[in-house]
Structure 1
Amino acid sequence: MWTSESTGTDPKTGELTFTICCNHGQIKLPPINQPPALLDELLHSRWFRNTIRVYNSVLAFTSVGKKMDYGVVHAPGPYTIQIQGQTHHRIGSLIPQQGRLPEYLQLYIFDTSNEVRNRLNAMGQTSTEGNLDETTLTRLIEMIDENNCLAKFFRRARDYYESNGKEFTIRLLPDKGKGKEYDLPSTSEVACLIVGDMSSTIGERDIVVQFQSDTLQQIRDDHPLYMSLQYPLLFPYGEYGFHPDILLHLETSTSRTRQFLTLRQFYAAQIQTRLNQGMTLIKGGRLLHQFVVDVYTAIEEDRLRWARNNHDVLRAELYSNVLDAVGKGDTDAKIIGQRFILPPSFTGGPRYLVEKYHDAMAICRVYGNPNLFITMTENPNWREIKEHLEKYGGDSPNDRPDVECRVFKMKLDQLLKDFKNGTFFRPYTAALHRIEFQKGGLPHAHILLWLGNSSRTSSAEEIDEIITAKLPNKEEDPEAYNLVIKHMIHGPCGDANRKSPCMEKTVCTKKYPQPYNENTSIDKSGYVLYRRRRNDDASVVKDGAFLNNNFVVPHSIKLLKKYEAHINVEWCNRTSAVKYLFKYITKGVDRASAVIEKGYTATASDAVASSEPKDKVIKQQNEIQEFIDARYLSACESMWRTFAFHIHKRKPSVEKLIIHLEGEHNITVKETDNLGRVIRKPGIEKTMFIEWMVLEGQSLHER
């Protein structure tokens, strides 16, 4: 951990305490074992870490369903995985259907005399991420057989199948005894081998593997073997993972204190650098990218599961309507109300983003237009990242999206502290920022700052004092020159590079090269045209193209020297630009392009169960599924959210005051509630708006 990640000190020992690794000592997971010798040797090899996803796929017991964005995977720049929608782990039958080749779990049981060739055939001899080496694969199979308790169990199933030839079913149990530590299970604890029908004894989270079937069973993300079945190279011993019954270590607890570890806390604690433990996970290279994306989809699915399971239970209705219903003798909550689908408290959801946009506009109404629009992007070559990797012999910063996110968070916190203290320019009176993630996966922050005196038009001299858009003189300030050419040069694009990502047809979407200007000015739309003089001698060669001041991104030299990263600084001046900025920084996560229809004519099968005519049956809009289907997710974003870092912050705080007529405020009831008891709850008729009106009335009376 870094000192600046500390959230306080222990009152007894005086030592620093941390949240993301152990939640102030409340999380105590079993130590991670050192990997087998072969795997440890391979993890130190760059070529293996580049192809580890392929080797893991041919050794996995389960398949993973996801939509990969291969345009990002094969794009220039650092390697990243980006998926769309939800991921699912699925397990098939023990024996393949007649005429089909074995795959995944079946490769451990069926036709194992040709296992290596079957595994190569299952994935294809080559892959987009590298070729499979037959010798290496053979050694890995032997390593898994020797060390992985899941593999040992399925090999026992193979022996049973080959000796008896009878049909049987495997059941993977979700627990090995309440209260035990979930570390290395023994073979007998992992599963039961049962012959015959056992449908009456199947638990909700049991994994039941049929003998021969053409259907796949989806595995719940809270099964302790969820990750071990999918990632045998990250969990080579078949370790138990998260389980809902893992207790927190609490000194004192009450009935209101949460007793058990959450899914997010478990994985945040697991993905850490601990030099005295096995580091198989953090040395996983490209497989770690896949794992952390998988982790966060499981975390978010766990949160969405609550909304999905309770959307028929929670209802909202006007207080006056509930009174009317009770007056008529209707006390059943099922007859009233609208269902909540995805509430505004769900981070990243559509209602959440709308609320944040309204908060931003509320700040604008009080403080006027913001002065500065700043974008800060992660620099994977920051000294802190490289020093961390050197601690355990790590290789590329891109191998550790978790470390990249943690360092960016520290840098961003320090940057905002500098803005508050007036280190680079006047201290801000209000600030707002939003975290987003590039197509290449790295995090960046959009920041709006109000510096005061925004009611008047700023002068060119004030803007030039903060922002520059030219190459520094190489002789006078070599440090600034090197930083600008490294971090603040756009392109090359246009005629010099038609294939640049910013190009759309024949035009740069960022409007580069920018025109030369003798002096800074502001156009009619409120956008600033920065000083870029043609006669400056400075130039730079980038990717074979000569670039001058018209390719320099506006920046602050002071900021650049301290943070050594891409920090774009723009001046805001007119209302016409403000609304665009607010919408841009609160637009939400990257999403797929989709057309959402309000309703559709149902099929004949839909109409059978309805009393409505066929042409009037309308399918209800499922906001939860729409959110999942439209979402794009990368490794860095997954780690940011797994560590529970904020994606949106503002200062000062904004309190939402809902305006309503008397008795027409919303209240929330459960489907099982008795409405008579609901309206008798103390304070049910009060709202923030009513109490505010009462307070205002008292103030007026006193005056």
Structure 2
Amino acid sequence: MKFWDIGDPTCECEHCGAYFWYEERINKNHKAKKPEFSLCCNHGKILLPKPKEPPTILKQLLFGSGPKSNHFRDNIRSYNSMFSFTSMGGKVDAFVNQTKGPRIFKLSGQNYHQIGSLLPPEGSNPKFAQLYIYDTENEVQNRMHALGRGDRINQFHAEIVQDLKQMLDEHNVLTKSFRMVRGKFHEETHSNFRLRLIGKRNYDGRRYNLPSISEVAALVVGDFDVSRCDRDIIVETQSGHLQRINELNAAYLGLQYPLLFPFGEDGSREDIPLNENDETTGGRHFVSMREYFTYKIQEKKGEVPTIVNSRRLFQQFLVDGFTMVESSRLKYIITHQKQLRAHMYKGLEDAVLHGEINPSSLGKRIILSSSFTGGARYMIQNYQDAMAICKWAGYPNLFITFTCNPKWPEISRFVKSKGLQPEDRLGILARVFKIKLDRLIKDLKEKQIFGSVKSVIYTIEFQKRGLPYAHILLFLHNKYPNVGDIDQIIFAEIPDESVDPYYYKVVKNFMMHGPCGSARKSSPCMRNGRCTKHFPKKFVENTTIDEDGYPVYKRRDNGRTIQKEGIESDNRYVVPHNRYLLLKYGAHINVEWCNQSRSIKYLFKYVNKGHDRVTTAFSQSVHEEDSSAIDEIKMYYDCQYISTCEAAWHREPSVERLSFHLPNEQTIIFSDDGPIDHVANRPSVKESKFLSWFEANNTYEEARELTYAEFPLKFVWNKKLKKWEKRRTSAFSIGRIFFVPPGSGEQYYLRMLLNVIKGPKCYEDLRRINNHDHLTFRDACYAMGLLDDDKEYVDAIKEASNWEMSSYLRQLFAMLLLSNSMSRPEYVWEATWILLSDDILHEERRMLDNPEAELTNDELKNRCLQKLNFFLKGCGRTLYDFPTMPRPVFNEEEIDNT
């Protein structure tokens, strides 16, 4: 097997001239002579002004050779900061570059830009925009001192600072605006001026982005109504306060990045028209912020690549742009909280009958929905979709981790031709990785290198160093049940260099862990003197499956070693892998056989662990009455370290999420500005995916052979027409009915019936058991024998265990105790205690840092009862209040801690 080299990005977009790899074409099913691409201008729909060639001095510093240019490029973020008019409000993570590896830019928390007053407060040194006005006779030294003290100031070249100052004075319209204020202060020392930076433009943003001074700024003398300024920036004469700038202000990027926008060009605006308007834009008329950035970060034929060649400043620009896009989406959600309402149809009918006509008196707030990528609901829904696939396909067979190799030949050739390092063009790394990941998935599904594939789930995430990687779960028809089968596809030994030198080389480069342990105690994997990945492994003559169901791969003591960083490592340090994938893709690709007997939800939780969390504050921008709506957005801002972009989910087959509701309790979305009787009389309010299922059962005879969850196997939901239609292809989806916990009354019993009854045409059919009509869904469940001996609670806990963690299951059990719902709680306990305690052994092993620690069943039960008792105590009760339940045993230390 040879390494797969994708070549160089020699293809051009016919609309904007952006360069692409052939494998990035839209339609990969055939070999196109004129491939089409959409990552840049979306088939010509996005048109932005061609950037002017940068001033001579900046071009020489960015692209020239020699010590002066090299110094500038190494310190470009610092030089840009010297001339920035605004400061960044996010927290820059400086620690990430203190360890070994490529230098990257990482930001945590909510990001925003701020600007101070025209003059610094009394006794303070000038900063940022103030340096353009205050004490300009010493401007060069002031700028260097503003950024560094002591020895650090010697890192900067005064000559470069002077050259950049002259360049911006000559070319940059924002600089000229602030110099205009300086001139006014010199003329009228005691005058009280304000500078108004105008937010909107009156010209077409597709063809023109170089405003004049009058279009950018205006001096304001005397009183001024700030409330009428919309997105304008009003810079006060002298104040100790910083004001936040709206991301939609046309000068937002130019103020922060004077070296990337050396003429003071406009950045993203909300009123740049699309070059054409058709159905593919979803009815939009203007370029979105995301589209603006995807266009700007492409290297195009005939353009000087100022932005993409700005090294670490480009990293900052990318992260800043990502946070701007997310911020604009979240702001839309926040500002529309008051406009959108959700309420049950029955509630609207009652309101009309009672004479209520004001929509704002009804409905709950719609907050951060599952459609917002990266939000909590998005993560939870995708995780539960994955568990639905697992319920259908069984246990996954292989867990594959594929990590981008920044030294791939394609990347090395590209960055070398530009005089860059891989970390300078993280977007290129991500694009090459995506090409190779797509081909790897294709190898798994079409070439069937591990056999026929039943399902595949994968996520793409980014390491703290910015490198993309994918977690892949593979469900196969051939389950590889025997250890001999595992040996055919997974290897954990050093190959013979004399027999297979290339295989030996790639194992050496990518699949050797460490060095760590006593030989390298400073290794990142070391904690408390032990390797957190549990290397070195033990020598084993043959592959086995341990008593917990985990594979122990063959690692023979055959004398083979690999020297890495001057330290000899043997088979105990080899990361399990597959030879075919390793040779073809030349990267770290860990292949693991999945445990077939233990709960897999923890594996899915790991795959969908979401963003790395940090804590940050969110400045509320709406009234306190909406604080409940703000909370979820604030929780989202307790968010990731952003070094590139959010995780992306991919599932095959797809999952159809199936909502349901009681009669006349379908959710209706409506706005504040329409009378309720008009809303209630809309024909669409009586429609839902669930009610349409009844209609389909009336229409199609074959539909009556399927339960609600089975329905997407043969039928597809048409979102536009809001109806179910018969599938015309062999494709299918897996249905997942939304979970409702016990204690939800009739809704819970309705869901129980939906899991077993096939083809009902109406609600009455669901309550009709053996030709007898029951008054409630609960009565119908009793008639079907679904509620005998607390069986419904056992079934509920077992079903919830398919996706929920054991901590949730324990809380669920405790709430059932507190509500006195169970007639025989000891029976439910005995039937479910294994599920309730499923995380306890893992927790014990992690706490002891010992992967081989064991607990007996009695010890597991006791620990689980202790946790149940702790939760009940928080509700004012204990297990001693429930006579039939077993009670935990505490030792003296545990008693002190309870």
Length-normalised TM-score, structure 2:
0.71
2:346 alignment partner AA = S
Once the two structures are TM-superposed, the CA of residue 401 in structure 1 deviates from its matched residue by 1.2
User: 2:400, 2:473 within 8 Å by CA — same for their partners in 1?
Assistant: yes
* Greater shift in the superposed pair: 346-355 or 324-333: 324-333
Once the two structures are TM-superposed, the CA of residue 590 in structure 1 deviates from its matched residue by 1.4
CA distance in structure 1 between the partners assigned to 2:241 and 2:616 by the alignment: 29
Q: Counterpart of 2:472?
A: 447
Once the two structures are TM-superposed, the CA of residue 665 in structure 1 deviates from its matched residue by 2.6
Structure with greater Cα Rg: 2
Query: Pairwise mapping of residues 318-333 of structure 1 onto structure 2 (< 5 A)?
Result: 318-333=344-359
SS in 1 for 2:604: helix
Q: Counterpart of 1:57?
A: 81
Once the two structures are TM-superposed, the CA of residue 618 in structure 1 deviates from its matched residue by 9.7
User: 2:348, 2:680 within 8 Å by CA — same for their partners in 1?
Assistant: yes
User: 1:93, 1:209 within 8 Å by CA — same for their partners in 2?
Assistant: yes
Q: Counterpart of 2:444?
A: 419
User: 1:525, 1:577 within 8 Å by CA — same for their partners in 2?
Assistant: no
Query: Pairwise mapping of residues 8-407 of structure 1 onto structure 2 (< 5 A)?
Result: 8=27, 15-44=34-63, 45-125=69-149, 131-165=155-189, 166-180=191-205, 181-199=207-225, 202-250=228-276, 257-391=283-417, 393-407=418-432
Once the two structures are TM-superposed, the CA of residue 37 in structure 1 deviates from its matched residue by 2.1
User: 1:319, 1:665 within 8 Å by CA — same for their partners in 2?
Assistant: yes
User: 1:125, 1:131 within 8 Å by CA — same for their partners in 2?
Assistant: no
Once the two structures are TM-superposed, the CA of residue 172 in structure 1 deviates from its matched residue by 1.1
How far does the alpha carbon of each residue in 1:253-311 deviate from its partner, in whole angstroms, 9 at most, with x for none?
79963111000000100001124112111111111111110000000000001111112
Query: Pairwise CA RMSD of aligned residues?
Result: 2.6
Q: Counterpart of 2:671?
A: 670
Q: Counterpart of 2:852?
A: none
Q: Counterpart of 2:631?
A: 622
User: 2:147, 2:153 within 8 Å by CA — same for their partners in 1?
Assistant: no
User: 2:62, 2:73 within 8 Å by CA — same for their partners in 1?
Assistant: yes
User: 1:555, 1:569 within 8 Å by CA — same for their partners in 2?
Assistant: yes
Once the two structures are TM-superposed, the CA of residue 525 in structure 1 deviates from its matched residue by 2.3
SS in 2 for 1:490: coil
CA distance in structure 2 between the partners assigned to 1:351 and 1:531 by the alignment: 42
CA distance in structure 1 between the partners assigned to 2:348 and 2:78 by the alignment: 59
How far does the alpha carbon of each residue in 1:144-190 deviate from its partner, in whole angstroms, 9 at most, with x for none?
22221211222222122112212211111123314253422222322
CA distance in structure 1 between the partners assigned to 2:44 and 2:99 by the alignment: 41
Q: Does 1:656 align with 2:657?
A: yes
The counterpart of 2:583, out of the listed 553, 558, 561, is 561
Once the two structures are TM-superposed, the CA of residue 372 in structure 1 deviates from its matched residue by 0.8
SS in 2 for 1:16: coil
Q: Counterpart of 2:640?
A: 631
CA distance in structure 2 between the partners assigned to 1:699 and 1:130 by the alignment: 83
* Greater shift in the superposed pair: 379-388 or 400-409: 379-388
1:249 alignment partner AA = N
Distance 1:676-1:377 versus aligned 2 partners, 3 A rule: same
Q: Counterpart of 1:525?
A: 548
User: 1:424, 1:559 within 8 Å by CA — same for their partners in 2?
Assistant: no
1:647 alignment partner AA = A
2:547 alignment partner AA = K
CA distance in structure 2 between the partners assigned to 1:694 and 1:156 by the alignment: 71
1:419 alignment partner AA = L
* Greater shift in the superposed pair: 679-688 or 410-419: 679-688
* Greater shift in the superposed pair: 569-578 or 403-412: 569-578
Distance 1:170-1:555 versus aligned 2 partners, 3 A rule: same
How far does the alpha carbon of each residue in 1:530-560 deviate from its partner, in whole angstroms, 9 at most, with x for none?
11111x2321121222111111111111101
CA distance in structure 1 between the partners assigned to 2:704 and 2:377 by the alignment: 40
1:576 alignment partner AA = R
User: 1:126, 1:132 within 8 Å by CA — same for their partners in 2?
Assistant: no
2:56 alignment partner AA = A
CA distance in structure 2 between the partners assigned to 1:548 and 1:205 by the alignment: 63
Distance 1:451-1:341 versus aligned 2 partners, 3 A rule: same
2:61 alignment partner AA = L
Once the two structures are TM-superposed, the CA of residue 702 in structure 1 deviates from its matched residue by 7.6
Q: Counterpart of 1:574?
A: 596
Q: How many aligned positions are there?
A: 670
Once the two structures are TM-superposed, the CA of residue 3 in structure 1 deviates from its matched residue by 1.3
- What runs of 5+ residues in structure 1 fail to find an aligned partner? 597-608, 611-616
How far does the alpha carbon of each residue in 1:673-700 deviate from its partner, in whole angstroms, 9 at most, with x for none?
3222222222422322232244346637
Q: Counterpart of 2:21?
A: 2
1:83 alignment partner AA = L
CA distance in structure 2 between the partners assigned to 1:693 and 1:270 by the alignment: 49
User: 2:62, 2:310 within 8 Å by CA — same for their partners in 1?
Assistant: yes
Length-normalised TM-score, structure 1:
0.90
SS in 2 for 1:387: helix
User: 1:315, 1:671 within 8 Å by CA — same for their partners in 2?
Assistant: yes
User: 1:422, 1:428 within 8 Å by CA — same for their partners in 2?
Assistant: no
Once the two structures are TM-superposed, the CA of residue 36 in structure 1 deviates from its matched residue by 1.9
The counterpart of 2:505, out of the listed 475, 482, 485, is 482
Q: Counterpart of 1:537?
A: 559
SS in 2 for 1:691: helix
1:508 alignment partner AA = C
SS in 1 for 2:75: helix
* Greater shift in the superposed pair: 687-696 or 151-160: 687-696
Q: Counterpart of 1:514?
A: 537
Give the number of the structure with larger relative contact order, counting CA–CA contacts within 8 Å between residues 6 or more apart. Answer: 1
The counterpart of 1:494, out of the listed 505, 517, 534, is 517
1:564 alignment partner AA = G
How far does the alpha carbon of each residue in 1:638-692 deviate from its partner, in whole angstroms, 9 at most, with x for none?
xxx6xxxx71110001001123322223222223332222222224223222322
Q: Does 1:585 align with 2:611?
A: no
Q: Counterpart of 1:647?
A: 648
Query: Pairwise mapping of residues 603-618 of structure 1 onto structure 2 (< 5 A)?
Result: none
Q: Counterpart of 2:574?
A: 552
User: 2:582, 2:588 within 8 Å by CA — same for their partners in 1?
Assistant: yes
CA distance in structure 1 between the partners assigned to 2:430 and 2:281 by the alignment: 35
How far does the alpha carbon of each residue in 1:4-45 deviate from its partner, in whole angstroms, 9 at most, with x for none?
112149xxx973221111111111211122222222222234
User: 2:617, 2:638 within 8 Å by CA — same for their partners in 1?
Assistant: no
Once the two structures are TM-superposed, the CA of residue 427 in structure 1 deviates from its matched residue by 3.3
SS in 2 for 1:433: strand
1:139 alignment partner AA = D
SS in 2 for 1:232: coil
CA distance in structure 2 between the partners assigned to 1:701 and 1:407 by the alignment: 45
* Greater shift in the superposed pair: 143-152 or 649-658: 143-152
CA distance in structure 2 between the partners assigned to 1:592 and 1:702 by the alignment: 50
Once the two structures are TM-superposed, the CA of residue 511 in structure 1 deviates from its matched residue by 1.1
* Greater shift in the superposed pair: 297-306 or 686-695: 686-695
CA distance in structure 1 between the partners assigned to 2:374 and 2:610 by the alignment: 6
CA distance in structure 1 between the partners assigned to 2:181 and 2:675 by the alignment: 54
* Greater shift in the superposed pair: 147-156 or 665-674: 665-674
Once the two structures are TM-superposed, the CA of residue 364 in structure 1 deviates from its matched residue by 0.6
CA distance in structure 2 between the partners assigned to 1:297 and 1:633 by the alignment: 8
User: 2:398, 2:592 within 8 Å by CA — same for their partners in 1?
Assistant: yes
Once the two structures are TM-superposed, the CA of residue 321 in structure 1 deviates from its matched residue by 2.4
Distance 1:127-1:3 versus aligned 2 partners, 3 A rule: farther
Distance 1:625-1:594 versus aligned 2 partners, 3 A rule: closer
Q: Does 1:466 align with 2:489?
A: yes
CA distance in structure 2 between the partners assigned to 1:618 and 1:173 by the alignment: 32
1:572 alignment partner AA = C
CA distance in structure 2 between the partners assigned to 1:570 and 1:117 by the alignment: 58
